[in-house]
Structure 1
Amino acid sequence: MVKIRFAANEDIPYIQSIAHETWTYTYGEIYTEEYIRDFISRAYSSENLRLSIERDLQSAKRSFLIAECNEKPVGYAQTRQVSEEEYELLRIYVRPEFHKMGIGNGFIQEYIQILQPIHQLFAWVGKENQVGRAFYEKRGFVVVAEKTETIQGQNKTQVKYVLHIS
């Protein structure tokens, strides 16, 4: 059974472990091992995660979530508010062995409930990230924009997916 709850400081080692596993799985063919390692060490440092959780604890609308299966964290997701009714899905990752169990969809449904009034949820996804793109498309997100970034001297295109919520 899967339970979704708010993240706490005790979750930091689990989030780091899930990040390492899911980034390697998702981006191993897209980015170099060095890039993935460097990115995770910065973005998922204990200090950065502690600050994210602290900000979330102080927020009127908490949005840093953990998915647990048998009381063990197996995924996480986080949004940020862009406007009164619009949120960006910053990160959503689930351990590969727990894919296709409805956890990602559970996160999205939880956001629709807790972030009221929410009318738009969007995410930037690497164009080459077929796993991520399939996830968003299956859930009704539509592509509305693209942008190209230079990462480690390589041009990488990001696709903006939007879910309109009535």
Structure 2
Amino acid sequence: MTRPPLPPFDEPLASQKVRLAEDGWNSRNPEKVAAAYTPDCQWRNRAEIFQGRDKIVEFLTRKWARELDYRLIKELWAFHGNRIAVRFAYEYHDDSGTWFRAYGNENWEFAEDGLMQRRIASINEHPITESRRLLRWTFPARPDDHPGLTELNL
């Protein structure tokens, strides 16, 4: 099984890979997202370090149980060979109704079959008021005409 686009990446392929990842994460479906990673994928997400699809599903299930109405935008930062760097922002609210915006960077490394074999994420977040939200669209995917990170000055 392959997961196109495949490395080595040029700019159009890297951009396509980033958008596919964004759409997958915006589905909030842990099994769907985990299918884009190798069975032994290595993850670092904030203080959590783990390996494997089962752990990815567990992590994302916990994440989206507490990060409600999650909306994410990813943007290509750099690419070379089988590696892509992205920056991202996402918004969500917790079960008390407090909204948050998170910002970060991810470094991705892909296997020849196009599955991600390593994901390293650095993330910061802060509370925002509902009126300061910028990522507003109907679930699940961001519409093509919705501004990206650069256009939103994020």
Higher strand fraction (1 or 2): 2
* Greater share of helix: 1
Higher RCO by CA contacts (8 Å cutoff, separation 6 or greater):
2
Per the normalisation by structure 2, the TM-score is 0.30
Q: TM-score, normalised by structure 1?
A: 0.28
